[in-house]
Chain A
């Protein structure tokens, strides 16, 4: 579970990135995080994962305060950043070993999970090569494997489908659904509204740092008092805000 309570963040000198954000992402659900560019999505995800510290408010992951209990909270999270260009001088297998050690994954489990996930994402043949020789999509797959490897309680993903081929997107959606069925928390940002509409149990819509809406698509339709697609509702809500 992810709990945000009155979270605000201002970048110097005086740019309010996120303002009084309060919502809960419960376990067993897939929640899509939507918003225009610069709305505050990445800042929020960075605060949840401990990259940034909130100015005010509190964030809890599985009941752990991400500021006070940061290491324990981070251990519960599998994070996919928006940029997969990490440590390109390492080989795929070296990168995964590094991440495995960081999350303290035992050797046997590590081998089992990497063998399985790399087969699902069809990247097992390339893991012995350097990441710099990978395409953008292949790097994204390695990052996804590293986030899923330790079977985390909470998955936080920033635009996870960028650069993936359709087969990998399908595989990722299946994996995320499996995680949710295992009562894990899945929270991801996306600009692909079709995916959010068909795949997410709930959506959180953020605009200019403030939460405009949080709930199911049905709730959104009720809120807007009309039966329209998520795309139409999204445009309407962000334009009127």
Chain B
């Protein structure tokens, strides 16, 4: 397959994967919105529901934008190339704002498109609604993004955050994950029928005077919602016009401020902080085994780089929480397990599936193994000219991925043990399977990255989150976990025979992949052209 065709295939596959990933969320959004509009239509207060939805969207854009636009405006790599060119500050900012806005339309597509569609199902509108909805769709992120941009400008101007860039990056990343977690929890609890009734009552009677009603004015959501409820009225037309004017005004204010102050505020934020002067402590210079020093280097980079820290380290400790509401608060649609169910689980063969899958999926999701080469970018040269055997480098990289995955897996498995109270033998067996599952996932991820490395990364975020290998690796591990689960269910295995079969199977998997990495990997690595 030619290089061009291969990259086109990967792009198409990536888009398909993305659509598949967002589709369930869109269905859920549609279902929630439809039920909300349906209950508000009875009391003829549809505009409140639409204003609530639009305002929630605007708040989400506002908060998330604060967390990431700082790096786009102040720390993007292209700034140093753009600054010497004869551009006005407003032109640079306008282009960056536009690029960010385009990304926001992806969020809008996931959240607003189902909202508008559900609304259309309730009010049975005509063509004019589609036009108005289209305009609102394109204007909706402008005001919150402009506010967030202005807020970040002021924040970075008046607080010494630029000097703590990495800390800001780490904490904003963690905060984003927690926020997504909160939203996930909110949506999952909302799927219960009685909760939706409570929400519509709250919108009707309590929301006035709260932050929600304030934000409906501040982000123009009320105006946009009025334009959509009765699109044929003159009032709707003027509301839409007013909403568009407010959006343009917010953008103009941001660009005006940018034109006045961007360069002035940017200069102290950029550039090298300057090395701190400190006497060299010779005691710090001491030799260590090469695998250990390589492993330590890997761990330092993973922990110190905000992009890697958030996506590779923190994520493993947080993301399994996403599934907890479905298990415990799922109501009629969820699994809603009781403690008796869970305790009984410890004596079934499926108990061993938990640590095994934790090891496999956590190490696939933290992306350390499946980006072990791609994360290096141009530094990969160094791997090639250092007099360190490839097998040692592979081992050190595998050890760092295994360490993080095993740590996160152990954390979750410990909680599971506290919940289930399994016998001691099962606990030890579980930990062995956790290690084997993590080891398998680490080595299969490394093999994948070795076969299809991606060196065109500009920053850590792209290396770990915009890398198809990560998703392929995760999907592969999930599919394998499902197959193993089905196998256990179909084979009617006993508790102990299940352990031994999984143990032997994954021992073979681990040795096979290690053999592949060391033998064929060395050849593949030496053939890489950088």
Contact = CB atoms under 8 A, between A and B. Distances in A.
Given A83-B378, A107-B285, A102 B386 contact: yes
B293 A126 contact: no
B527 interface: yes
A33 B384 CA distance: 22
A87 B383 CA distance: 12
Interface string A176-209: 0000000000000000000000000000000000
A137 B385 CA distance: 22
Given A86-B382, A89-B304, A114-B282, 9 more contacts: A71-B387, A81-B385, A85-B378, A107-B285, A115-B280, A118-B280, A125-B278, A127-B280, A128-B284
Interface stretch (B30-38, B206-214, B267-275, B428-436): B267-275
A163 to B, nearest CB: 13
Given A12-B529, A86-B382, A102-B290, A97 B284 contact: yes
B6 interface: no
Given A100-B287, A110-B287, A133-B274, A125 B280 contact: yes
Range class of the B interface residue count: 35 or more
A124 B285 CA distance: 13
Nearest to B306: A89
A106 interface: yes
A89 B305 contact: yes
A105 B284 contact: no
Contact of B300 (A90, A102, A128): A90
B297 A98 contact: yes
Given A93-B285, A97-B285, A111-B285, A128 B387 contact: no
Interface stretch (A20-28, A44-52, A214-222): A44-52
Contacts of A46: 381
Contact of B276 (A79, A101, A128): A128
A106 B287 contact: yes
B300 A89 contact: yes
A136 B387 CA distance: 25
B154 interface: no
Contacts of B425: none
B170 to A, nearest CB: 13
B491 interface: no
Given A71-B389, A89-B301, A97-B285, A53 B275 contact: no
A89 B305 CA distance: 7
A90 B275 contact: no
Given A87-B301, A126-B276, A128-B276, A49 B385 contact: yes
A213 interface: no
A96 interface: yes
Contact of A103 (B300, B378, B382, B387): B387
B348 interface: no
A173 interface: no
Interface in B502-530: 526-527, 529-530
B276 A133 contact: yes
Residue among B290, B301, B387, B526 with the most chain A CB within 10 A? B387
B285 A96 contact: yes
Contacts of B126: none
B388 interface: yes
A50 B384 contact: yes
Contacts of A159: none
B506 to A, nearest CB: 32
B289 A101 contact: yes
B275 A126 contact: yes
Contact of A101 (B288, B304, B379, B385): B288
A154 interface: no
Contacts of A107: 285-287
Interface string B183-204: 0000000000000000000000
